[in-house]
Structures are given as structure tokens and as C-alpha cells.
Amino acid sequence: MIAPWQITRAADRLRGGGVVAFPTETVYGLGANAFDLDAIAKVFQLKGRPRFDPLIVHVEDVDRVPQLVGYFSEQAQRLARAFWPGSLSMVLPKHRRVPDLVTAGLPTVAVRVPDHNLARQLIEQAATAIAAPSANRFGGVSPTTADHVRAEFGERIDLVLDGGPCHRGVESTVISLVDQPTLLRPGGIAVEAIEQVLGPLAIAAPSNDSRSLPSPGMLRRHYAPRTPMRLVDVVDPGLRQRPELRVGLLLFVPRRDQDLDGFAAVEVLSSRADLAEAAANLFAALRRLDAASLDSIIAERVPDQGLGRAINDRLMRGSVV
């Protein structure tokens, strides 16, 4: 349980130019005052994040959004009413006061209101919007506990607010509303639910073009464990190939096959075929496999619907092509 003085201390650090890790419902964020260029530069340096990859700016409620965007369209307001607070980020024309460093020089900014009381209390007490990517080294597996953050950064960040495990477990869905409504990244809000509000979405393809990334998480290779991982539709014993190698297995649901005994480590995302449970467990399971001294990981694709689209997206981007 976080004491009020801990939130106050973290807010003071943010106002003073510090970098603070904090929980949201999706993953832990590495936050800095969105209008402090030196603090934002620290975030990029700590993560080893390229400057072409923009940050998502977090605010405590929808009333703060007009301070960040040049135009808060009727479509955007409909989405805000439907999904905020929640795991949805919207890319909108930015207000001129938002620093170019936050937006990678783009004329747009990604904004969201997190569905986590501690996060919103922190933003409110800091009295500023917080720019926050996931609190891990760039390209790696995102953190869903405070221990994951500490393992990544040790004492190199000013403070870690421990709010327990993140209950959503995958990053926010990102929608661009600059022109045609476009899905930039699947995430914690199902695409189907968004389409019930807006109608069909265009879908942006993954990119390796560092000149044009309108959203985080759009690179073809991202969210990757250090251990080579392969994504498959069906798991069978032949995937081990060489018995002398230590191969780990990531399953959607439990299996009773004795043929799976040869795998060195097995992680199951859901005991009851629940995609929300699988999403919440995804990154922690990948981190455990990554720490098991394996030669490779075999990951099983989950049903490609609802939150399953976000899970498969992370597994695909983290896999060896």
C-alpha cells in the first residue's frame, strides 16, 4: 500500500526535474514532466530510446487535454467518453507548447488518461502532464511490477512507486485521429470496442522507417526478450529440434501432453482460456522464461480477437523473423 507521503515525494521529484517510475493499469511508466526538456532527455537516455520514437503524455482527466492538443475533435471526445480513464491513447494535433522532443518532432501528440488511481493522483499532485514510456530498456519486455523496474534500472532513477502488479498487463491501444481513424498499435482496449464507437478503423503497418513513427510500439522488432523467441500457431514436440538445447514454452492454456515434458521451462498465460488474464500475465511470463537460461523460447499464438490481438502483436514483434 502506497502512503500519501510517497505520492507527494514522487510529485516533488517530478516538479524538480526528476524521473519517477509509476504504475498504470497497462505497464509501469518511466515518467517525467512533459514540459521539462532536461527531464525528458533523461528518460530517453535511461531507456536507450531513439529520439525518433515519440512518448505518450499522461493526464489525470479529460479537462487537461485541451492544454496539450490543438484540436480536440468530436470523434476524440466520443472516444474519451467511452474509454477514459482507460487503456486508450489518442494521437491528435499537438498544441505548440508541447516540446518537439516529446513528439519526435511530429505535429501530433499521443495523450491518455490512465485507469489507475495512483497514477492519476501522482499527475494531479505534480500539477503537470507526465510523459512516460514503459519503464524498461528500449525494445525489451515491458515491466508489470515494481521489481521488474528495479531489475532494469537499479538506483539510476530517482524513485519507484510500487503499486503492485498492473492488472491490464499490455500497453495502451493507440488510435490516430489526425485524418482517417487509424489503429497504430493494438493494446488494452479491444479494437472491436473502438469500432463500435467510430466504425471501421484503418490499420497502420509495422515499420522500420525511423523517419516516421507516429506512435510508440510500431517498430517491427520490439517487446523482445533477450532469448531468441519464435511464434507458432501449433505447439508440437518436434519444435524442440535438438534435445540437447534448453527450450522454453509459452502456452495460452494448460496442456496435458506428456510430449511437452522435454521443454526446459513452461509458462501458461491463462488457466481458463481468458484473454484478459493472458494479457495481464504476458510480460511477467516472458521475463521468467528470459531468466531461465534457455537457448530459445517457443510462443503459442492466442486467439486473434479482443485482447488477443494485442498479445499476438507483442509476441510477433518480440519474435525472431
Residue 221 has pLDDT above 90, yes or no: no
Q: How many CB atoms lie within 10 A of CB 273?
A: 13
Residue with cell 471526445: 77
> The dihedral of CA 13, 18, 24, 27: what is its sign?
negative
Residue 165: the pLDDT is: 96
Every domain of the chain and the residues it spans: 4-203, 229-317
Task: Please state, in angstroms and rounded to a whole number, the distance separating the CA atoms of residues 162 and 176.
Answer: 31
For residues 296-311, average pLDDT: 96
Task: Please state, in angstroms and rounded to a whole number, the distance separating the CA atoms of residues 141 and 219.
Answer: 14
For residues 232-259, average pLDDT: 80
Residue 238: the pLDDT is: 63
Alpha-carbon distance values, 159 to 30, 89, 147, 321 (Å): 10, 25, 12, 37
For residues 97-105, average pLDDT: 94
Residue 282: the pLDDT is: 97
Partners of 69 in beta bridges: 94
pTM > 0.85: yes or no:
yes
Partners of 31 in beta bridges: 20
The confidence band for 284, taking pLDDT boundaries of 50, 70 and 90, is very high
Helix, strand or coil for residue 163? coil
The confidence band for 218, taking pLDDT boundaries of 50, 70 and 90, is low
- Secondary structure of 268-300 as H, E, C letters: ECCCCCCHHHHHHHHHHHHHHHHCCCCCEEEEE
Q: Which CATH class is domain 4-203?
A: alpha beta
* pLDDT tens figures, 255-267: 877 667 788 999 9
Residues ≥6 apart with Cβ < 8 Å to 300: 231, 232, 233, 234, 235, 249, 250, 251, 252
The residue among 176, 190, 207 whose CA lies nearest residue 110 is: 176
Do residues 165 and 144 lie in contact, with contact meaning Cβ atoms separated by under 8 Å?
yes
* pLDDT tens figures, 41-75: 999 999 998 888 899 999 999 999 999 999 999 99
Residue 208: the pLDDT is: 61
Residue with cell 493499469: 25
Question: What is the 8-class DSSP label of residue 73?
Answer: -
Residue 130: the pLDDT is: 98
CATH homologous superfamily for the domain 229-317: Threonylcarbamoyl-AMP synthase, C-terminal domain (3.40.50.11030)
Tell the burial category of 256 from Cβ atoms under 10 Å away from its Cβ (0-12, 13-18, 19+). exposed
Do residues 316 and 266 lie in contact, with contact meaning Cβ atoms separated by under 8 Å?
no
Residue 192: the pLDDT is: 96
Residue 236: the pLDDT is: 73
Residue 195: the pLDDT is: 97
Q: Please state, for a pLDDT cut of 70, what percent of the chain lies above it.
A: 92
Residue 200: the pLDDT is: 95
* pLDDT tens figures, 142-180: 999 999 999 999 999 999 999 999 999 999 999 999 989
Residue 230 has pLDDT above 90, yes or no: yes
For residues 294-299, average pLDDT: 95
